Structure 1
């Protein structure tokens, strides 16, 4: 995989707006509803995210950070091919995708229609444009926006029974109108590829699958790929190497003791990041978790 300099303008990113502490209603919402998404944590993240010429996200997920960070060059990776196909299709065929996705939302808002779309999606019946529209539809119509796959790589989340799921028109139009699309390169693969591409004055923001807390099972394979502590260790090793090449590092994770020890032992500064857990279907049962954000600058 090669990463050209086409997405690296000579002028450095002007991201002074990140230095203001903003409330949630001042940020642009991402296109996807995403488990572990960082929209509500953006004020804390932007306190720690430094300036740089390019933002690299090895785990882009729902995209709340790059959508609001204001970098003039973004290298964005995720192991979820369906997610990256959506972003790439939105770049290439933005208005066609918006129109088609809207038809999905209008025509298929029932349990039976959801299952039909999910089956076609899993069976490879769609071209890339229809696949992208179906992925957005499934994300917004499934239970609580949980994007999860079985061992066969099939999307297996059930119907969410929402009366009128949100269609993210404004979010997609902002992606196109704000030139985020122009400044972004999307790739799909293991996190190592984009981290190894990092160099001087790049900023890497990592939001990996969180390490389970002691005495909990956790769940770290939403994309059909498990993420073990050995992967956390490999990730940190790659980040330390990137830092030696001049990159600046910001990473989030759970407050698990082995994660704190791993980060501190490799020179990271660790800060608290209270976060709302949002998988529960009832707002009253959603908990505040003692997550962390760590930097290597």
Structure 2
């Protein structure tokens, strides 16, 4: 049975795990520069160790706190889930979170609460680095106790770090497998969603990601990147020698979540040296 992330996460790969598994090779260590909700590493049976990075310090703090003091984080967050489900409660937690006065475990619990209670599980910050997503108005948000337990069973094999993709990929070498799920390049004629840092995830970042992955491959790492099928992205990967594959995915094609159609994702691969 597949392990679900305990977080809501836009663009998560849970629904694509079976297909992705055929592209992600075995290796001693799996490196994820954009770990997000963690569905890929949580379901890996091909790797013994994990280097998991993201530029979101609150996400990594939550992972680190659950790795070292899970019971405290679980107790604090469960308390909030049980007794704090109104707009007033939500705004109070968000204000305390943004005031930067909570200790590590408290901030981890607050981040989990905000993720499960905010609108659509969005993770968004303003220019002052304050979490600014509104209350989701859910009647009884699910407390992911079993999913957290699944995470903690794997955490002793993991190293978590707050890091941009360049620094993370620079650590990859022979025998490593690098899996990248960056913000997708918008398709022509669409705005897309490229939130990553204050400046977004630019075309220059897409080029930098591909080039850094190529350098890791030359050091002996295998590389798998998921992205959109934007033509200039396909051209970039082909120029750098990536093997190009496509996955069928189901996406909403209107404002109504019930209206969905099949689309394609790109899977670009560089096979490591044996």
Q: TM-score, normalised by structure 2?
A: 0.94
**Alignment equivalent of 2:205, drawn from 207, 227, 231:** 231
**Alignment equivalent of 1:270, drawn from 210, 235, 244:** 244
Which aligned pairs between 1:204-223 and structure 2 lie closer than 5 A? 204-221=178-195, 223=197
Instruction: Give the gaps of 5 or more residues in structure 2.
Output: none
1:52 aligns with 2:27: yes
Return the alpha-carbon distance in structure 2 between the equivalents of residues 266 and 172 of structure 1.
39
CA contact (8 A) 1:205 1:251 kept: yes
**Alignment equivalent of 1:174, drawn from 134, 137, 150:** 150
Which aligned pairs between 1:91-240 and structure 2 lie closer than 5 A? 91-176=67-152, 178=153, 180-221=154-195, 223-240=197-214
Return the alpha-carbon distance in structure 2 between the equivalents of residues 279 and 181 of structure 1.
37
Determine the structure 2 residue equivalent to 1:64.
39
Return the alpha-carbon distance in structure 2 between the equivalents of residues 286 and 116 of structure 1.
36
CA contact (8 A) 2:252 2:258 kept: no
CA contact (8 A) 1:149 1:222 kept: no
1:287 Cα deviation after fit: 4.4
Determine the structure 2 residue equivalent to 1:248.
222
Return the alpha-carbon distance in structure 2 between the equivalents of residues 235 and 224 of structure 1.
17
Q: How many residues align?
A: 270
Determine the structure 2 residue equivalent to 1:295.
269
Determine the structure 1 residue equivalent to 2:59.
83
Return the alpha-carbon distance in structure 2 between the equivalents of residues 279 and 131 of structure 1.
36
Return the alpha-carbon distance in structure 2 between the equivalents of residues 156 and 38 of structure 1.
25
Return the alpha-carbon distance in structure 2 between the equivalents of residues 133 and 279 of structure 1.
34
